[in-house]
Amino acid sequence: MSVVILKDALDTLKSKGVRITPQRHAILEYLISTKTHPTADEIYKSLASNFPNMSVATIYNNLRVFRSAELVKELTYGDSSSRFDFVTHDHYHIICNDCGIIVDFHHPGLEEIEHLASHVTGFKVNSHRMEVYGTCPACAKKEVVMN
């Protein structure tokens, strides 16, 4: 985990008047260090042993604070569970249809689509979202073994 990224995130919260509690610190550390896009329940399960008095509601409340501070993005993919992504700069996700793992990837050319959409419709475009679905290598390997 990058200490600089954590310090910057904590400084962002402080600049917005948010008090830094041990729980907030731990949740931020977890989000920064994980390569997954965890749900609030997954974060809770990972941190519960270190914070036995912390509830899932505490996790949700802190994620809401982080989202308001623009430190995390909330991702919804139709499975009724929100996932949280600390990487807030433009990037895209590929999602496994079998296990649900979400992996980041970057493709700089999609800004052209925003420009075209704006030009054709007259909209002032402020963001876009792209998802690619498939089977991750681990699930593909399981399919080969089962067949």
Q: Which domain holds residue 23?
A: 3-85
pLDDT (0 to 100) of residue 78: 65
Residue pLDDT, tens place only, 116-129: 999 999 999 988 88
Proportion of the chain above pLDDT 70, given as a percent: 97
CATH code of the domain covering residue 128: 3.30.1490.190
State the CB neighbour count (10 A cutoff) for residue 32.
17
Q: How far is the C-alpha of 135 from the C-alpha of 26, rounded, in Å?
A: 32
Which of the given ranges, 43-47, 112-116, 129-133, has the highest pLDDT on average? 43-47
Report whether pLDDT(96) > 70.
yes
Nearest to 113 by CA among 92, 134, 97: 92
107 and 50 co-located in one domain: no
21 and 57 co-located in one domain: yes
Query: Cβ contacts of residue 64 below 8 Å, gap of 6+?
Result: none
Phi-psi region of 122 (alpha: psi -120 to 50; beta: other; left: phi over 0): left
Mean pLDDT of the chain: 89
What one-letter code names the amino acid at 95?
I
